[in-house]
Amino acid sequence: MPFDGFFTRAMVHELKTTLTGGRISKIHQPYKNELVMVVRAGRQNHKLLLSAHPSYARVQITEDTFDNPNEPPMFCMILRKHLEGAILQDIKQVGMDRIIIFEIRGRDELGDESYKQLTIEIMGRHSNIVLVDKEKERIIDSIKHIPMSLNSYRTILPGSTYIYPPDQDKVNPFSSSEEDVLKEIDFNSGKLDKQIVERFSGFSPIYAKELIFKAGLANRETVPMTFVRLMDVLKDHQYEPAITIADDKEQFYLFLFSHLKGENKQFASLSEMLDRFYFGKADRDRVKQQAFDLERLMKNEKNKNESKVKKLQATLEAAEKADEYQLLGELLTANMHLLKRGMKEISVINYYDENGGQMSIVLDPRKSPSENAQSYYTKYQKAKNSVQVVEEQIRKAENEIAYFDGLLQQLTSASTRDIEEIREELAEQGYLRLRHKKGQRKNPNAKPVIDRYEASDGSEILVGKNNKQNDYLTNKLAARDEIWFHTKDIPGSHVVIRSKEPTEETILEAAMLAAYFSKAKNSASVPVDFTKIRHVKKPNGSKPGFVIYDNQQTVYVTPNEDRVKEMQRT
């Protein structure tokens, strides 16, 4: 992973420069494996994100906003008890491992000075955050409890002695000379990048590949020389944080990767880069976990209605034969004198055919001539009456498909708060039953929270992220002469500019937001309609989020995630 030992070292340097000596004023635990601590340092408040997420574990200063639970988790309460108001004395890395220790000085219940260590282990699915009493070397608590049954080497439980993860006995790259590199690498065995990862601490596979690439013709002379040169750059903390997009995959690191050919974007700090890199990623992962049952329900309902439409269309095709059944009944009635019970088929002249051609009619040998004729009249009447019913059922099923298609799109950009609103909507529509937690009461007067963005000219742009928010934004919050946006014939969010006469640039920015929060998020030249709120109507009895509109204009825009991030208001 790019968050390797070198990246950890660089992040510690960045955090020490900004946070050392600061006071911890607030602590929140917005999600199961993540903490946000507000540190007051240098006359500024800094939000420090500590994540033990199995896929997105990291430590950084963040500008992102988080939805905190109504009741803080137990670990958060313990941290508040021991750390709020305490001083962040030092930040350090353990060797070249992905372990960061925050040295914290505070006071206990008696007012005596106490020293705590908040340790963050960034190790993929084994990542953890551990609060340790420094003097006793005992664990106070951790965000993940690891009993001996899961790890025989060390136990991570309150009261246990804190033990660092086992040392990998790798060579320190910063103290290695060219001769040391030559000793550690077998040039005859090949796979030099893998050997570097295995022998030297701090290296991730991708950075080892970069080293070999920079060495050019990799041999016993170029590789050691490049190795030492790159270590000198890292020793002096000469970083140029950058994200490289190559083969539709993003990679971040301390500087540009030369061996990856693609689009590059550089940043002023590591934390700013991580905010951009993880923008939406962790949220989408959390939403995917929390909304697994909703997504399955939506897909099942959509698939069920798609199958229903196919069957109804087959019924409709059969119903369209109504005129043929009428013709057969009339021909049998006209030729009744030729029919006899027991006949399986009869050939008669088709009087409606200009050429007077013969027509074969299948008969039921068990029925009388008049019963056979009546049978075709009955089929005619039944088919004729069913056409209108079947067409109405097809229309309803197609509306259901469009409804769930829109909900599935909303899941792709939903926050955890949005998920709860979608869950409530599905309950209100009768698709599922809500399970209310004990003691939890919802405020009936609570209004949906609308995401806010700022255009280049300072205009405010509002975005609904689900049907409840869309209905509230379009039908209640927005004024009649404000400008409303929606992707043309594509499921997406309602977007409103809080201005009656926006500039052309603001119109394009609002249209870009509408395209970004739609099913066409990854497309180019997305058509977006816009009109005044006064021309947007919600039909009686229609599904949540559904509207019709007129007097619209259309612009074509391409979604830009970087611009969305820049426009978002905290």
Q: Is residue 443 part of a domain?
A: no
Q: Is residue 151 part of a domain?
A: no
Q: Is 265 found in the same domain as 302?
A: no
Give mean pLDDT, residues 278-292.
74
Give mean pLDDT, residues 444-455.
85
**Alpha carbon distance 286, 106 (integer Å):** 33
Q: What is the pLDDT of residue 287?
A: 72
- Of the candidates 142, 164, 190, which is a domain's last residue? 142
Q: What is the pLDDT of residue 109?
A: 82
For 174-205, what is each residue's pLDDT tens digit?
999 999 999 999 888 888 999 999 999 999 99
**Alpha carbon distance 224, 228 (integer Å):** 6
Q: Is 68 found in the same domain as 124?
A: yes
Q: Read off the pLDDT band of 568 (50, 70, 90).
A: confident
Q: Read off the pLDDT band of 385 (50, 70, 90).
A: confident
Only one residue has tokens 């742009």, namely 461
Q: Is 506 found in the same domain as 468?
A: yes
- 423 Cβ neighbours under 8 A, 6+ residues apart: 294, 432, 434
Q: What is the pLDDT of residue 127?
A: 94
Range of the domain at 72: 5-142
Q: Is 184 found in the same domain as 103?
A: no
For 128-140, what is each residue's pLDDT tens digit?
999 999 999 999 9
Q: Is residue 523 part of a domain?
A: yes
Q: Is 265 found in the same domain as 236?
A: yes
Q: Is 532 found in the same domain as 498?
A: yes
Q: How many CA atoms lie within 13 A of 8 on its CB side?
A: 26
Q: What is the pLDDT of residue 531?
A: 97
Q: Residue 111 maps to which CATH number?
A: 2.30.310.10
pLDDT at 34 over 80: yes
Q: What is the pLDDT of residue 555?
A: 96
Q: Is residue 200 part of a domain?
A: yes
pLDDT at 281 over 80: no
pLDDT at 442 over 70: no
Q: Which of 5-9, 207-211, 283-287, 561-565 has the lowest mean pLDDT?
A: 283-287
Q: Is residue 163 part of a domain?
A: no
Residue 292 burial (10 A CB sphere; 0-12, 13-18, 19+): exposed
For 66-111, what is each residue's pLDDT tens digit?
878 888 999 999 999 999 999 999 999 999 999 999 999 998 888 8
Q: Read off the pLDDT band of 280 (50, 70, 90).
A: low
Q: Is residue 155 part of a domain?
A: no
Q: Residue 218 maps to which CATH number?
A: 1.10.8.50
Q: Is 515 found in the same domain as 469?
A: yes
Q: Is 272 found in the same domain as 191?
A: yes
**Strand partners of residue 62:** 47
**Alpha carbon distance 147, 142 (integer Å):** 12
DSSP assignment string, 441-453: ---TTPPPPPEEE
CA angle 20, 25, 29 (to 5 degrees): 105
pLDDT at 448 over 80: yes
> What mean pLDDT, rounded, does the chain reach?
90
pLDDT at 487 over 90: yes
- Of the candidates 380, 410, 440, which is a domain's last residue? 410
Q: Is 508 found in the same domain as 397?
A: no
Q: Is 455 found in the same domain as 402?
A: no
Give mean pLDDT, residues 449-459.
92
Q: What is the pLDDT of residue 101?
A: 97
Q: Is 541 found in the same domain as 517?
A: yes
- 502 Cβ neighbours under 8 A, 6+ residues apart: 455, 457, 459, 483, 510
Q: Read off the pLDDT band of 482 (50, 70, 90).
A: very high
- 191 Cβ neighbours under 8 A, 6+ residues apart: none
- Of the candidates 262, 285, 308, which is a domain's last residue? 285
pTM of the complete model beyond 0.95 = no
Range among 13-22, 66-75, 103-112, 420-429 with highest mean pLDDT value: 13-22
Strands (E) across 332-482 are located at 345-349, 358-362, 451-454, 460-463
Q: Is residue 65 part of a domain?
A: yes
Q: Read off the pLDDT band of 435 (50, 70, 90).
A: low
Only one residue has tokens 């934004």, namely 473
Q: Residue 354 maps to which CATH number?
A: 1.10.287
Backbone angles phi, psi at 208, to 5 degrees: -65, -40
Q: Read off the pLDDT band of 239 (50, 70, 90).
A: very high
Backbone angles phi, psi at 66, to 5 degrees: -135, 145
Number of compact structural domains in the chain: 4
From the list 43, 138, 160, 41, the residue with the least C-alpha distance to 82 is: 138
**Strand partners of residue 107:** 113
Q: Is residue 313 part of a domain?
A: yes
For 518-556, what is each residue's pLDDT tens digit?
999 989 999 999 999 999 999 998 999 999 999 999 999
Backbone angles phi, psi at 462, to 5 degrees: -105, 140
Query: Which pair of tokens denotes residue 148?
Result: 């001996």
* Percentage of residues of the chain with pLDDT beyond 90: 62
Q: Is 272 found in the same domain as 338?
A: no
